[in-house]
Amino acid sequence: MQLISGAAVAEKVLEECRRDIAALAAVGKKPGLAVVLIGDDPASRAYVRSKDKKCRDLGLHSVKLELPASTTQEEVLAHVHALNNDPAIHGILVQSPPPPHIDEAAIVRAIDPAKDVDGFHPVNVAKLALEDPTGFVPCTPLGCQRLLMDAGIETKGANAVVLGRSMIVGKPMALLLMAKGPGGDATVTVAHSRTQDLAFITQKADIIIAAIGRPEFLKAEHVREGAVVIDVGINRVEAPGTEKGYKLVGDVAFEEVAPKCKAITPVPGGVGPMTIAMLMANTIKACKQS
């Protein structure tokens, strides 16, 4: 069984980023990422902080915009417009979820698609479906694809099952895997909460991408011998007796599934580090294309 280390592949991606940043510096360009945080959700604050830190470590220009929870829709839009027009900024990300009075979809649509490094703008959604390589693909599924490719997993002709049909992970993952070319050409099944007899579906899979947000949902009985499992889930579950009182687990019951697998990602240390690495890569791509 091969343990796919997201941390190691992410480090490789970041090394490529460093090379790209050096090459861009040689022509007087410096990629810039702006992260907009509205409100004071602790998890969101932690994410934004780690993105900011990763940017600075790499030598990217990083702008962290922390707005109070009382910020109005119009004020957020005004900030987005200013960032759209700021030539030092190549990537814009509005941390999800914003407070409930904010229309998140409208904010995403206001971001210049050429700076939409999260890949959630409709223009980039369409580019993914249309297999247009100038678009931005959401960081998590892009990271999953990179993990597969880096681990030497052949997707062409493979039976891939994506669990989950969200626009954050499930659908873009499916579109990536069914696209023509390296990392694609898979026969892709999208399963979800309405799927009947999930084990019947997943037992046929060469590759399973689990992105349903249910702790340790995928069991040994769901997986055939020799499958490759990518676990997108990051779920906090109670762990009495530990220092923090909780632990992080994926959507996969790792202990029982891993022994059956040809390859599997752990949680933490799997998909997680890839998401932020692909955000850096997307920001550099945006800078190159600007």
Cβ distance to its own copies smaller for residue 138 or 272: 138
Q: Which residues 124-163 are close enough to bind its own copies by CB under 8 A?
A: 125-127, 129-130, 156-157, 159
From 123, 149, 234, 248, residue interacting with its own copies (rule: CB under 8 A): 123
Record the tokens describing residue 265, joined without a space. 């990602």
Residue 51 falls in the annotated catalytic set? yes
Record the tokens describing residue 180, joined without a space. 């023509």
What is the spatial distance between Cα 55 and Cα 63, in angstroms, rounded to a whole number? Answer: 9
- 185 interacts with its own copies by CB under 8 A: yes
What is the spatial distance between Cα 277 and Cα 203, in angstroms, rounded to a whole number? Answer: 31
Q: Residue 211: name the closest of 186, 228, 187, 235 by CA.
A: 235
Minimum Å gap between C-beta 132 and its own copies is 9
Q: What separation in angstroms does the CA of 44 have from each of 39, 140, 153, 154, 271?
A: 9, 16, 33, 35, 18
- 226 interacts with its own copies by CB under 8 A: no
Check the CA dihedral 76-82-84-90 and report its sign: negative
Task: Report the DSSP pairing between strands 159-163 and 207-210.
Answer: parallel
Widest pairwise Cα distance in the chain: 56
Minimum Å gap between C-beta 195 and its own copies is 4
Minimum Å gap between C-beta 282 and its own copies is 18
Binding-site residue ranges for NADP(+): 164-166, 234
Q: What number of chain residues touch its own copies (CB under 8 A)? A: 30
Cβ distance to its own copies smaller for residue 31 or 98: 98
Query: Dihedral, CA atoms, 198, 144, 228, 187, nearest 10 degrees?
Result: 60
Cβ distance to its own copies smaller for residue 89 or 190: 190
- Each residue 16-55 as x (binds its own copies by CB under 8 A) or -, in order, gives ----------------------------------------
What is the spatial distance between Cα 275 and Cα 265, in angstroms, rounded to a whole number? Answer: 14
Cβ distance to its own copies smaller for residue 44 or 195: 195
Minimum Å gap between C-beta 280 and its own copies is 25
- 225 interacts with its own copies by CB under 8 A: no
What is the set of active-site residues?
51, 95, 118
